[in-house]
Structures are given as structure tokens and as C-alpha cells.
Amino acid sequence: MNFVEELRWRGMLHDIMPGTEEQLNKEMTSGYIGFDPTADSLHVGHLTQIMTLIHFQRAGHKPFALVGGATGMVGDPSGKSAERNLLSEDVLNHNVKCLENQLKKFLDFNTGANSAEMVNNYDWFKNFTFLDFIRDVGKHLTVNYMMAKDSVKKRLESETGMSFTEFSYQLVQGYDFYYLWKEKNCQVQMGGSDQWGNIVTGTELIRRKAAGNAFAITTQLIKKADGTKFGKTESGAVWLDPAKTSPYKFYQFWLNTTDTDAKSWIRIFTLKTKTQIEELEREHDLAPHLRILQKALAEEITIRSHSAKALETALKTSEFLFGNGSLEFIDDLRDDELIDVFEGLPQFEIAATEFSSVVNLTDLLAEKTSIFPSKGEARKMISGGGVSVNKEKMLDSTQLISSEMLIRGKFLVVQKGKKNYYLISVH
């Protein structure tokens, strides 16, 4: 497999340094991508780079995933990002470990010569002094930026748009590339198109300090067709950690993709071949309402990010909420997972002491909760067959609701009409 050509036809390639493709076609080559441990989970915004490493390894090359334990301590050097605050060493160590565990789900760490490897730049920066940095990095650049006077700093900012701190941060990231080139024979750095400056700084340092050759590839920054930010929903980021974003919500994020974005994203976020994708597109165009592309995209990325079992739960949850699925699937869910399924839907809590005595259905729906604004409206819909409890249709408004009906002794799922669901929790 030609790695660069793979990125091209998938619409992922943004820029490539001369000689890079020739090097990759010549022999197995090591390359890396860096990930900032600013949180204890990666999110879908990282998936482009994760997929790049997957393609890199599938092409027979050796991928390195660098987790920036040292650069993560800097936070956002521009001071513009609320998501990259300065973190304590303990928090960073925890985040680094979580990211390492997540990345191991995507890459093969036991496949011989091109096995993936994890590296942490804290390991080589922890004993690296300021003077070491000036000696090993600063003197090899055109201007000794770390010792620059205020006038030079101002000129730097006016000419590059970067602050002195941001440029220093770029130099630090450039040293990462030099270190991996020297210690791991890592010849290629990859990243998003916004990382080109950092990567070129590294190749320049390798050339000046060691007369070596290194290469660079950047990928397109993913945006939605409507111009809004990819990977964000009204409730925030879409995380890869199932405790932060449930597999059901993760699946729904991809399922709700527009047709235009689905045609782009199925190339970027799946391993389907060009022939397979073009066939899916033909099927989709014949019946867009079936959302064939979206389903294929959502299913594959949910399995890769979570598991086949997680996909099954997501599908059963979707069928329950939007079709005629049963409640049996929740038997395999933890209490927190069950509650997460109903996130975004109305939920009510009733004290166990209140529920200990038998109550009738109307009181439950209009008095102990506000599923109905009045008992009269509750009775009317019940008599019309519009109310179900735990997927069982209720026809008697005076029906008694006892603790024996509670799922796991804690929950009731009420359906009003065709698509209105409510979760009642008894504590």
C-alpha cells in the first residue's frame, strides 16, 4: 500500500515535503504524531491523526505516538484556549496514561518490525535544563530567540503572528522531532496542517545540528460542510472515553452526519476501500432516506473506537428509542450506562419512601412526576392507548404501580405517544 497515495484519494493529504514520498516508497520508515494530554481522553477531533497512524502502519511503516507529558505542562502558549490550561504533574500523568491506553486500541503494538510504540517527551525533557536547550537548540537557529531582546520579540510577533512564548513552544516541539530522529531513527513527522511550522522547525534542526534528512506530511483540518466546527455538539466534545460520551451518543453523532459530510468522512474515518465506498455511495444515492453511508460510517468507527458489543448496544438503544425495540438490552447495562442512554430526555427522581406504598398510574404520571400537566390529560391518553411503562401498554388509569415493576428495583421507563420517553429513578 502506498501511504501517500492512500491519503490522497481519501482527501486527507494537505502538504508534503519534497522527498517524503520517495523515502516512504523506498523502505520501511518510522514516523510519529504528537498528542497533547490536556484531558484524560481523546475526542473525535483526534481521529484524523489516529487514522493517519493506522494507514501509516498498514502501509508497512513504523508508527510512533508521542504523548506530550512535557509540552502539556506548558498548556496553550498563546493563552487563547480554555481547553489547554496549565495542569499539575499528577493530573498530567493521569491523562498521559489514559491516552496511552486509548491509542493502544487503534494501533498494533505487537506486529514485528513495524510494531507501534508510545513515547512521552517528558522522558527526555525532565532533566533538560534551560542552558542545555540554548546550547542544543537555540544556537542552531538563525536568531537566538530564547535570549532575544524585547525589540526582536516584537519583530517576531509582527512578522510571524506568534508570540515569543508560542515560538519557544515551537522550538521545543522541534526538538522532539530531533530527539526521535536521533534515538528512534524517526524520519517523518505528521500532523494537522496547523502543525506545519512545528514540523519544519524540527526538520531544520535535524539538518543544522546533525546534517540529517527528515520529512514532513500534514493532513487537512476537518470541517463540516456548513462551516461549523467538527467534533462538537450542543453538549460539548464527542469523547472516545465511553464514560464521557456513551457508545450510543457516539454512534448517533456519526449517524446524524449530513449526506455531504458522510461522503467525505467515510473516506477519512473508515478503512473501507475506494471500491467499497463508491458502491455504498451508489446505494445511498438511490435511497438517501435509508442513510446507508451514515450507518456504514457510524458502525465501523463505533466498533474501532469502542467494540462490537458497544455497537450492538447502540443499535438496540436506537431501535428502542426510535423503533419497536424491546427493553431487554438494558439488562447488560450498568446503572450509569442506563441513565446515560436517556441523557437529554426528561428524568424524574422519586424517593424510595414515597414509592414504598403502592401508587396508581395516574398519580405517578401527573402528581409524583410532571410527565402530564394534569390527571385529566393523563387519564385521556392512557385510555387512548398512548402510554406504556417498560414497553408494556397501559390501558387502565387506575392501574397500581408497585416496586415489583421497577427495573433492577430502581427504574421505570415511561413512553408517552410514539417518541416521548421519560426515565423515573427511585432512590
8 Å CB contact between 69 and 38: no
User: What are the backbone angles phi and psi of residue 157, rounded to the nearest 5°?
Assistant: -65, -40
Alpha-carbon distance values, 230 to 194, 218, 224, 255, 265 (Å):
15, 18, 6, 14, 11
Is 160 annotated in the active site? no
pLDDT-wise least confident of 11-25, 263-277, 366-380, 403-417: 403-417
Alpha-carbon distance values, 387 to 318, 368, 391, 420 (Å):
19, 16, 9, 10
**Per-residue pLDDT tens over the stretch 131-155:** 676 666 665 555 444 344 444 445 5
Query: What local confidence, expressed as pLDDT, does residue 148 receive?
Result: 44
Is 170 annotated in the active site? no
Give this prediction's pTM. Answer: 0.82
Q: What is the mean pLDDT of residues 71-87?
A: 57
Among 10, 43, 249, 304, which one carries the catalytic annotation? Answer: 43
**Structural domains of the chain sorted by starting position, each given as residue range(s) with its CATH number in brackets:** 3-219 (3.40.50.620), 232-325 (1.10.240.10), 347-426 (3.10.290.10)
Query: What local confidence, expressed as pLDDT, does residue 139 receive?
Result: 57
Q: Which 3 state secondary structure label does DSSP give 169?
A: helix
Q: Quick one: three-class SS letters along 357-412?
A: CCEEHHHHHHCCCCCCCCHHHHHHHHHCCCEEECCEEECCCCCEECHHHCECCCEE
Is 270 annotated in the active site? no
Is 289 annotated in the active site? no
Report the distance separating Cα 277 and Cα 242, nearest Å.
Answer: 28
Binning the chain into helix, strand and coil, the percentages to the nearest 5 are 50, 15, 35
Q: Please, which pLDDT band fits residue 174 given cuts at 50, 70 and 90?
A: confident
- pLDDT beyond 80 at 166: no
Is 55 annotated in the active site? no
Q: What is the mean pLDDT of residues 185-198?
A: 93
Strand 13-16 to 215-219 pairing: antiparallel
Query: What local confidence, expressed as pLDDT, does residue 243 receive?
Result: 86
Query: What local confidence, expressed as pLDDT, does residue 48 receive?
Result: 96
Mean predicted lDDT score pLDDT of the chain: 86
Is 153 annotated in the active site? no
Is 229 annotated in the active site? yes
Among 20, 36, 40, 46, which one carries the catalytic annotation? Answer: 46
Among 104, 154, 160, 194, which one carries the catalytic annotation? Answer: 194
**Per-residue pLDDT tens over the stretch 103-133:** 999 999 999 999 999 999 888 888 877 667 6
**Per-residue pLDDT tens over the stretch 222-279:** 988 888 878 777 668 899 999 898 888 899 999 999 999 999 999 999 999 999 999 9
**Per-residue pLDDT tens over the stretch 349-368:** 998 888 776 678 999 999 99
Is 187 annotated in the active site? no
Q: What is the mean pLDDT of residues 186-213?
A: 91
Report the distance separating Cα 176 and Cα 370, nearest Å.
Answer: 58
- pLDDT beyond 60 at 164: no
Among 233, 260, 276, 398, which one carries the catalytic annotation? Answer: 233
Q: Which 3 state secondary structure label does DSSP give 191?
A: strand
Among 80, 289, 334, 419, which one carries the catalytic annotation? Answer: 80
Among 29, 38, 48, 270, which one carries the catalytic annotation? Answer: 38
Report the distance separating Cα 199 and Cα 189, nearest Å.
Answer: 6
What's the longest Cα–Cα distance across the chain? 86
Is 43 annotated in the active site? yes
Q: What is the mean pLDDT of residues 30-47?
A: 94
Is 23 annotated in the active site? no
Percentage above 90 pLDDT, the chain: 52
More confident residue, 50 or 339: 50
Q: Residues with Cβ < 8 Å from 395, sequence gap 6 or more? A: 382, 383, 385
Q: At what angle do helices 308-322 and 292-305 cross, to 10 degrees?
A: 140
